[in-house]
Chains A and B, each alone.
Chain A
Amino acid sequence: MSAPVIELDDVSRRYDEGPPALDAVSLRIAAGESVAILGPSGSGKSTLLNLVAGLDRPSGGTVTVAGVRVDELGEAGSARYRRAKIGMVFQFFNLLDDLTVADNVMLPAQLAGMARGTARRRAMELLGTLGVDRHATAYPGRLSGGERQRVAVARALVNRPALLLADEPTGALDTASGEEVRHLFNDLHAEGQTIVLVTHDLNLARSCATRTVQLVDGRVAADSTVEPVR
């Protein structure tokens, strides 16, 4: 097993009220792994993903990603870290409705300082790979759920991130669209992309995860390596 890409050490996250969302979680994820985080609603899955993405800070413990102490980054530092290392996919797509599909995909590259033309070529290439290039000039509102999630994945990959984080990527999709996205993640994993996937969808977990982590009430209840069912 290669050196861990993600290293969570004794990580807790407490909000003002209620029990801790995460309670002393330690977790190591190696490069090329595809990990599915499973667990009931409210068990702390999104919180864990946000901590890895540097969108939130732990109340205790350390989060290290690709050698970077994410929990110690400032606002600007974590933004730069996300640009360079992280691609994010959300349940409700979070596409910007007032930008075209291509502009959505180009945005992270442009924020990182890539020239418009270069960013555009890269975006078109990705949209082509994901089979949604014919919608490049459309606005996200016109696309089906499955198509929107493909665009979101393209946007997540535009900066060639070391790590792809996905929070219930099939949660808002019908069965057919869910199937499309499942294939997509499967392909990405096959290409060697490190993926951390939060899901309720056991099919998704089974088809593209090499490992499943079960969270219950903010604690790791089970952690098992599985052979993906092809």
Chain B
Amino acid sequence: MSALGGVVRSGVGRRRVQTVVVGLVVMIAVTVAVLGGSLMVAARAPFDRAFSQQHGAHLTAQFDGARAMAAQLSASARVAGVAAAAGPFPTATITPASGRGGPVQPITVVGRAGPGGPVDAVTVTEGRWATGPGEIVLQADHRLPRRLQPQVGDALPLSGPAGGQTLTVVGVARSVSETAGGWVVPEQVAALTAPGATAGYQMLYRLAESDTAAQIESGRAAIEASVPAGALAGARSWLTTRTNSAGSVVLFVPFLIAFGVLGVLMAVLIIGNVIAGAVSTGTYRIGILKALGFTPQQVVRAYTAQALVPAAVGAVLGVVAGNLLVVPVLAQTNEVHGTTDTGVTPWVDLLVLAGALALVTATAWAAASRAGRLRTVEVLAVGRTPSPGRGQWAARLAARLPLPRAVTLGLAQPFARVLRSATVVAAIAFGAAAATFAVGLGVSLNAVQATESDGDVVIFPGRPISGPPPEGAPTVAPGPPQPPDPVAVVEAITAQPGTSGYRGVAPTELTTAGLTSALQTLAFTGDDSAHGYQMISGNWFSRPGEIVVSRPFLTATGTRVGDSLVLTDHGTPIDVRIVGEVFNVESRGMQVLTAAETLAATQPDLRALEYHITLTPGTDPVGYVKALNAALASVEATAEVAEEESDEILLVVNALTGLLTLLLVTVAALGVLNMVVLQTRERVHDLGVHKALGMTPRQTIGMVIASVVVTGLVGGAVGVPVGVIMQRVTVAEMGHAAGFNLPASVIDIYHPAELVLLALGGLLIAVLGALLPAGWAARTRTATALRTE
């Protein structure tokens, strides 16, 4: 073994470039894998743990109390496929009159005698459960800062149908399944229900099969069939809740997987190439080793170990680097979601480490096995330079090109070593694919953000604040902004030259049966309400009573475009029809868009808070804003040029894709570097001859660089379509993870000219990788090279 150790040590020492390449490639692949794995776990783990502890509800169903009786609902627990059920619990919707400065939203309360049960055993985190009338336990809302959350002991005055009543907060509880905004004792529900209305019922189900949306849907259908027609008002899948709870981290998962797969494939290719190259340049040495009595197994082991030593070092460094990256990425998302994971997951680290070393061993073993098979006699008989062999046609063709001879000599080189060139083409292709993919992803995400367009000019309520507040002035918290006078604003807008169209936006909250939280609703006025929105199907609303929603809303309510629906506004039902699906990520896709007239009966005083104006082409927005503000002088409103706000998550995604692309492009360039080093080593004698015949250093560099041009071009040409496919699949997958269908403006984002440029990126990778060894080749001592006879 010590003889073997000596061979390994000297191999590692002599092939310094290859050793560094293996170490770096493994390090980068491991970094990407640790980052991906840890974020994936961080995205899912807390929810999954809590969900299983609480026997979370796979399906939270809301029933219409007027169409089904409690006994019929109890019977639904025995439907095939239902593993456990809880309920029926009576439900009502209440609207607190004011909160602790936090947003006031209608909430669904559920009448439950206690927190436990076979399904959705909620955890009381503060105080106690409600034991009598007038008491309420609130769902912990970890998305709100603590000071804005209602506290135990707070009095909660109500408005709406239960107006005049006051509930006392006696506890705060957490239902991972998010089955209610608050809980009261069952007897309390009747008092909270509008006079004349019937209370709804909630049933909570655990299903035998619950892993996919299809399984959940078939469970839902079976339950719906078991109750009177129309009784099931709405149902929510735990998959939706899980996606929401993971927040934006879940968006990273598809592209991290894509990058991880690329990284691993590239590492395998390059390590295989390094070892195969070491074997092919070392045939003579191998022959001597065998002649000295090394067994084939020992030779293979020696060459495998030459890769494993740097790979192990690289893998450990990669684990460290991966974890260092996980922490800031999660810190970003923690801030957004109020969680506190560091993201460091030892078992992920160990798994990646073990996997990486196993993969390196297998790859190196496969590549080195040729060394074991070489017959000693053949090896020792091998001449210095290979016979012309393959690629003669390419050499003849290249020689005819009207280019300097040094260049045409280089151009033909990849054809002499087809297999090696193919693996390097693949490595470059993956690098180009990564770059194409990253660019596409960035453009797609920006396109998503562009759908949140506020037009060219925005009018906000309130007067412009100029300069710092006067010294010593009391810092009163400004109250909620008051909507400006709509008549005056619209008059100013329409009178202003340069106006192409406008919309007024009035935000409000509605509820619908089956959803426990309020629906943010935008009620529009004006002639350009659809501006910036991308339709997926159907049409924009054209008359009162029509609404436009996005995919998560349709999924959560189990509705389709064309369906009718009852929304509740301050306790009053409004019949609406869904006329279109729009791509709208606001409010997690649960926003309802409609004409202001839809709410005319229920909120006659509703006024637009903001106005979004589009300008005719060629209008200067700054001048327009100045003129408009002059016209608005007597109105409590201010016009500003609309600014693109940049989303923090988008910044994280852009930074991550940028970093990962850089890493993978580096790996690809290292693959090229390794190939060129091998090629130079094999041709060192020919290089000497070239120089003896008068090849200058510059011509030598030209020849070496030219030798990677074909490889780079083919790699780029192959990689770009792969990157485009990856972008399409990943972006669609990210959309699905967030519950959206994506419009073409988000998916079809590449221009032909960009694709050509990206394909040339493959050439750039190749040239970058070849530059260093080209310099080395130019500097080899001719006399020394010629002596290797």
Chain A residues in the interface with B (C-beta under 8 A): 50, 53, 55-56, 75-76, 79-80, 82-84, 88, 90, 92, 94, 96-100, 103, 106-108, 110-113, 116, 139, 141, 155, 159
Determine the chain B residues whose CB is within 8 A of the CB of A112 once the complex forms: 694
| Contact status B697-A79, CB under 8 Å | yes
For B696, give its contact among A76, A97, A100 (CB under 8 Å). A76
| Contact status A83-B694, CB under 8 Å | yes
| Contact status A98-B416, CB under 8 Å | yes
Determine the chain A residues whose CB is within 8 A of the CB of B416 once the complex forms: 98
| Contact status B693-A98, CB under 8 Å | no
Determine the chain B residues whose CB is within 8 A of the CB of A111 once the complex forms: 405-406, 690, 693-696, 699
| Contact status B694-A98, CB under 8 Å | no
Query: CB of B778 within 8 A of chain A?
Result: yes
The chain B residue with its CB closest to the CB of A119 is B405
Distance between A172 CB and nearest chain B CB, rounded to angstroms:
10
Query: CB of B399 within 8 A of chain A?
Result: yes
**A-B residue pairs in contact (CB < 8 Å), sample of 23:** A55-B786, A75-B779, A76-B698, A79-B691, A79-B696, A80-B694, A83-B693, A90-B786, A94-B688, A96-B689, A96-B690, A97-B386, A97-B387, A98-B386, A98-B392, A98-B416, A107-B690, A111-B695, A113-B404, A116-B400, A116-B405, A141-B387, A141-B388
Determine the chain B residues whose CB is within 8 A of the CB of A110 once the complex forms: 404-405
A96-B692 contact in complex given A56-B783, A111-B406, C-beta closer than 8 Å: no
Distance between A139 CB and nearest chain B CB, rounded to angstroms:
5
B interface: dominant SS: helix
Docked pose: A79 CA to B778 CA in angstroms:
11
Query: CB of B645 within 8 A of chain A?
Result: no
Determine the chain B residues whose CB is within 8 A of the CB of A103 once the complex forms: 395, 399
Q: Known pairs A83-B693, A98-B386; list 14 more (Cβ under 8 Å).
A: A55-B786, A75-B697, A76-B697, A82-B692, A88-B692, A94-B692, A94-B786, A96-B686, A103-B399, A108-B694, A110-B404, A111-B699, A116-B405, A141-B388
Query: CB of B389 within 8 A of chain A?
Result: yes
The chain A residue with its CB closest to the CB of B395 is A98
For B388, give its contact among A90, A98, A106, A116 (CB under 8 Å). A98
Nearest 4 A-B pairs (CB), nearest first? A83-B694, A110-B405, A79-B696, A56-B783
The chain B residue with its CB closest to the CB of A88 is B692
Docked pose: A96 CA to B778 CA in angstroms:
18
Chain B residues in the interface with A (C-beta under 8 A): 385-389, 391-392, 395-396, 399-400, 402, 404-406, 416, 685-686, 688-699, 778-779, 781-783, 786, 789
Determine the chain B residues whose CB is within 8 A of the CB of A159 once the complex forms: 694
| Contact status A55-B399, CB under 8 Å | no
Docked pose: A53 CA to B693 CA in angstroms:
10
Docked pose: A111 CA to B405 CA in angstroms:
6
A interface: dominant SS: helix
Determine the chain B residues whose CB is within 8 A of the CB of A96 once the complex forms: 686, 689-690
Distance between B740 CB and nearest chain A CB, rounded to angstroms:
57
Docked pose: A110 CA to B695 CA in angstroms:
10
Distance between A11 CB and nearest chain B CB, rounded to angstroms:
15
Determine the chain B residues whose CB is within 8 A of the CB of A79 once the complex forms: 691, 694-697, 699
Query: Which of B385, B389, B404 lies at the interface centre, i.e. has the most chain A CB atoms within 10 A of its CB?
Result: B385
The chain A residue with its CB closest to the CB of B413 is A98
| Contact status A82-B693, CB under 8 Å | yes
Docked pose: A96 CA to B387 CA in angstroms:
10
Distance between A89 CB and nearest chain B CB, rounded to angstroms:
10
| Contact status B693-A155, CB under 8 Å | yes
Distance between B408 CB and nearest chain A CB, rounded to angstroms:
9
A75-B694 contact in complex given A56-B783, A96-B689, A141-B388, C-beta closer than 8 Å: no
Determine the chain A residues whose CB is within 8 A of the CB of B400 once the complex forms: 116
| Contact status A97-B694, CB under 8 Å | no
Query: Which of B391, B396, B691 lies at the interface centre, i.e. has the most chain A CB atoms within 10 A of its CB?
Result: B691
Determine the chain B residues whose CB is within 8 A of the CB of A97 once the complex forms: 385-388
| Contact status B388-A80, CB under 8 Å | no
Determine the chain A residues whose CB is within 8 A of the CB of B781 once the complex forms: 56
Docked pose: A92 CA to B686 CA in angstroms:
13
Docked pose: A135 CA to B389 CA in angstroms:
18
Docked pose: A76 CA to B694 CA in angstroms:
9
